[in-house]
Amino acid sequence: MASSSSTTGDRRHYCCFFLAVFLLSSAAHGQLSATFYAARCSSLDQNVRDEVSRALFRDPPPLGGRRMGASLLRLFFHDCFVQGCDASVLLDVDPSKGILSSEKDAGPNANSLRGFEVVDSIKSKVEAACPGVVSCADILALATREAVVALNGTTWPLLLGRRDSRTANQSQANSDLPSPGSNLDTLIAAFARKGFTAPELVALSGAHTIGLAHCVNVDQSQMQRCRVPTADGLMAELDDHTPERFDSGYYDKLGKRGLLGSDRVLTSRRDLDALVQKYAASQAAFFADFGSAMKKMSEVGVLTGADGEVRTNCRRVN
Ligand code: HEM
Ligand SMILES: *[C@@H]1O[C@H](CO)[C@@H](O)[C@H](O)[C@H]1NC(C)=O
Ligand SMILES: *[C@@H]1O[C@H](CO)[C@@H](O)[C@H](O)[C@H]1NC(C)=O
């Protein structure tokens, strides 16, 4: 008798415990959901995929047009690290709406972030199909994932229902986006501020398997790689083996071949160097950890429910 009633009591405790965990975790995720647009914009995934593949493979060489995939990935990262994934990075200066300075003009972004017109073209297509329904923040999250898939990289699940901010914060872009000359402790702290662990910093840095950097950001020891002609002057490939392909080539001899100081320092702590070597040896391990970290990044500081708005034009507050 006594033992059976204590079992029932335990069950009740378990039940309350799981209910509490469920409520807490759904509160933490706001109202993001896997099927957010299923009823109201069933063409969304297809429209994003079509526009991303039209935009990729269209740039002139180098990287045979594929650089735009890298640029979208970086644009999303720079959105999420400033006020959360709320499309604040897309806003132009507009004093009439209280946008006195933009994130795109912040130090780490000015003359360097790309992909704004690709987001605009996806948004136009989605607006034509489902007017006023899909946020710019969700479009950027979806486009980024499609771009990585199109580069033969990996994929990850996304929850949708992000809302767009009515504000931008240039000073936060200047303070919170990591810089290429930072030491390891500074990088770890910058990622910790957004909820990421040091191993997640290592996995996310694998994004530098694609794309280019301006010479001013390149580590002194790698200056000879600054010889790729672009419309923007000479640049350098972040991954000097396969800069157009999303693979685990970035991690191969990272301590010596890393283009940015922030890439090279990742091998300076023993446990992180072990992870670098694991990813260099196993693309599957890199893809799995990169995908989980990207899903987590896509949920940083999101606006949901009645917060924010669904912008009509991604560059302007409604
Ligand atoms: C660990 C801290 C990081 C630092 C210090 C850093 C810094 C930089 C810098 C300086 C550039 C070159 C920009 C230019 O010269 O125009 C760059 C490019 C890039 N970054 Fe990072 N980054 C970091 C992490 C990340 C993360 C987490 C992602 C995405 C998940 C990312 C994605 C990219 C991509 C794809 C490019 C190439 C963009 C293009 O070709 O247009 N980076 N990064
Ligand atoms: C992706 O793989 C396909 C099929 O193997 C290939 O044709 C294409 O060139 C690859 N794309 C990239 C960006 O590597
Ligand atoms: C902008 O970001 C800074 C640094 O994170 C913060 O101190 C400030 O309160 C933010 N400003 C607004 C208007 O949110």
User: Ligand 2 centre from 245 Cα, in Å?
Assistant: 8
45 is in an annotated binding site: no
β-bridge mates for residue 309, sequence order: 164
pLDDT in tens, 266-318: 999 999 999 999 999 999 999 999 999 999 999 999 999 999 999 999 999 99
Q: Closest-lying ligand to the alpha carbon of 103?
A: 3
Is the full-model pTM beyond 0.75? yes
CA distance 140 to 115: 10
Letter string b/e over residues 201-210, b meaning 16 or more CB atoms within 10 A of that residue's CB: bbbbbbbbbb
CA distance 318 to 179: 32
79 is in an annotated binding site: yes
Establish whether 78 is a catalytic residue: yes
Residue 272: CATH number of its domain = 1.10.420.10
Pocket-testing residue among 152, 245, 247, ligand 2, by greatest number of atoms within 8 A of Cβ: 152
Q: What is the DSSP string of the chain?
A: -HHHHHHHHHHHHHHHHHHHHHHHHHHHTTT-BTTTTTTT-TTHHHHHHHHHHHHTT-SPTTGGGTHHHHHHHHHHHHHHTTTSSSSGGGPPPBGGGTB-S-STTSTTTTTT---HHHHHHHHHHHHHHSTTTS-HHHHHHHHHHHHHHHTT-------B--BB-S---HHHHHHHS--TT--HHHHHHHHHHTT--HHHHHHHHGGGGS-EEEGGGS-GGGGGG--EEETTEEEEESSSS-TTS-SSGGGTTHHHH-SSHHHHGGGGSHHHHHHHHHHHH-HHHHHHHHHHHHHHHTTTT-B-TTSSB--SSTTS--
* Total of domains in the chain: 1
Residue 2 has pLDDT above 80, yes or no: no
User: Ligand 1 centre from 208 Cα, in Å?
Assistant: 6
β-bridge mates for residue 235, sequence order: 214, 228
Ligand 2 site, CB within 6 A? 66, 151-152, 244-245
Residue 5 has pLDDT above 70, yes or no: no
The structure tokens 């770890």 sit at 188
pLDDT for residue 65 = 64
pLDDT for residue 14 = 47
174 lies in some domain? no
Residue 241 has pLDDT above 80, yes or no: yes
pLDDT in tens, 150-167: 999 999 999 999 999 999
Q: How many residues does the chain have?
A: 318
Catalytic site residue from 13, 78, 214, 241: 78
Pocket-testing residue among 172, 174, 175, 176, ligand 3, by greatest number of atoms within 8 A of Cβ: 172
Give the residue, by CA position, lying nearest to ligand 2 atom 14. 245
Give the residue, by CA position, lying nearest to ligand 3 atom 14. 169
57 lies in some domain? no
Give the residue, by CA position, lying nearest to ligand 3 atom 11. 169
Q: Are 23 and 102 in contact (CB under 8 A)?
A: no
Ligand 3 site, CB within 6 A? 169, 171-172, 175
Pocket-testing residue among 59, 67, 71, 74, ligand 1, by greatest number of atoms within 8 A of Cβ: 74
257 lies in some domain? yes
pLDDT in tens, 106-129: 999 999 999 999 999 999 999 999
43 lies in some domain? no
pLDDT in tens, 24-83: 444 444 589 999 999 999 999 999 999 999 988 776 666 666 899 999 999 999 999 999
73 lies in some domain? no
Task: Residue 270: give the domain boundaries.
Answer: 198-295
183 lies in some domain? no
242 is in an annotated binding site: yes
34 lies in some domain? no
Q: Closest-lying ligand to the alpha carbon of 66?
A: 2
User: Ligand 1 centre from 210 Cα, in Å?
Assistant: 9
User: Ligand 1 centre from 112 Cα, in Å?
Assistant: 10
pLDDT for residue 171 = 98
Closest CA to 116 of 155, 96, 87, 149: 87
CA distance 281 to 38: 39
User: Ligand 3 centre from 171 Cα, in Å?
Assistant: 7
Nearest-atom index, ligand 1, CA of 182: 5
